[in-house]
């Protein structure tokens, strides 16, 4: 990771253990240790060092294997988490045997915010606005599925590629969580290279069937159009 995490301070208010995996980015490491030395000493934050440069997904899954909890949430550095609602979600899913919990989420841009719900109500877990195919931030994993991801070359993949593999190839069980704990800061997420990204999604997802193809491309298409209008 190369930037600080916006939601760390919010998460630290609650009894949630944070694992931070850092590759050989010494500049970021020094700043992070200086800023959170108190929390690290109290073991509220555990830092795991990898002495080589690796992709973001390898960092995530390396850290996930070190945890003791059954469920894991990856937090992106430019998004926000409502920790109280997250804890409620964890309490609710402890009774359920699923591999992925995908969530509604809220767009935030400058002083505006909007909960994405119309297409979620219509399509449920297959809605273009559900974080199904981007299981980085906002998706809760059952730790047991991490072992299925080690054989893939994460450096060539984006988050949504892992989502396609988990849902449409590995057939992992998942459910839709309607409790919104994940706030998406889309100030930096608008993709100007629209058609090339859409083409990449089409070519990647078509190998996994028509539903995966539709879900992947429509999700990107509708989200980017929405962001442009929302701005």
What are the structural domain ranges in the chain?
Answer: 71-230
**pLDDT one-digit tens code per residue, 176-217:** 877 777 777 665 554 557 888 888 889 988 999 998 898 888
Q: What is the pTM of this model?
A: 0.73
Which of 152, 145, 64 is closest to 100 using CA atoms? 145
**pLDDT one-digit tens code per residue, 118-171:** 667 777 777 776 765 666 667 788 888 877 676 665 556 677 788 888 888 888
Which of 135, 58, 59 is closest to 100 using CA atoms? 135
**pLDDT one-digit tens code per residue, 31-57:** 888 888 888 888 888 888 877 777 677
CB 131 within 8 A of CB 105: yes
pLDDT of residue 107: 67
| Two structure tokens written together for 224 | 């980017």
Q: Tokens 């988990």, residue?
A: 166
Is the per-residue pLDDT at 230 higher than 70? no
Q: Tokens 């449920």, residue?
A: 124
CB 117 within 8 A of CB 176: no
**pLDDT one-digit tens code per residue, 64-112:** 877 888 888 877 666 677 888 888 887 777 777 788 887 776 666 666 6
pLDDT of residue 118: 60
Burial class (CB in 10 A: 0-12, 13-18, 19+), 228: exposed
| Longest Cα–Cα distance in the chain | 51
């Amino acid at each position: 990771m190369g930037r600080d995490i916006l939601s760390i301070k919010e998460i630290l208010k609650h009894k949630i253990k944070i694992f931070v995996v850092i590759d050989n980015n010494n500049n970021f490491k020094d700043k992070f240790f200086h800023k959170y030395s108190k929390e690290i000493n109290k073991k509220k934050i555990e830092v795991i060092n990898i002495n080589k440069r690796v992709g973001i997904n390898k960092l995530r899954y390396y850290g996930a294997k070190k945890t003791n909890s059954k469920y894991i949430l990856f937090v992106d550095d430019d998004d926000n988490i409502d920790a109280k609602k997250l804890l409620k979600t964890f309490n609710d899913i402890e009774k359920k045997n699923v591999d992925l919990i995908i969530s509604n989420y809220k767009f935030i841009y400058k002083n505006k915010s909007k909960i994405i719900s119309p297409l979620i109500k219509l399509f449920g877990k297959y809605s273009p606005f559900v974080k199904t195919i981007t299981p980085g931030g906002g998706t809760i994993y059952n730790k047991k599925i991490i072992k299925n991801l080690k054989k893939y070359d994460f450096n060539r993949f984006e988050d949504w590629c892992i989502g396609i593999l988990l849902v449409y190839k590995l057939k992992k069980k998942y459910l839709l969580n309607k409790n919104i704990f994940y706030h998406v800061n889309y100030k930096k997420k608008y993709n100007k290279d629209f058609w090339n990204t859409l083409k990449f999604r089409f070519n990647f997802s078509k190998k996994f069937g028509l539903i995966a193809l539709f879900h992947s491309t429509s999700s990107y298409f509708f989200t980017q159009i929405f962001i442009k209008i929302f701005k």
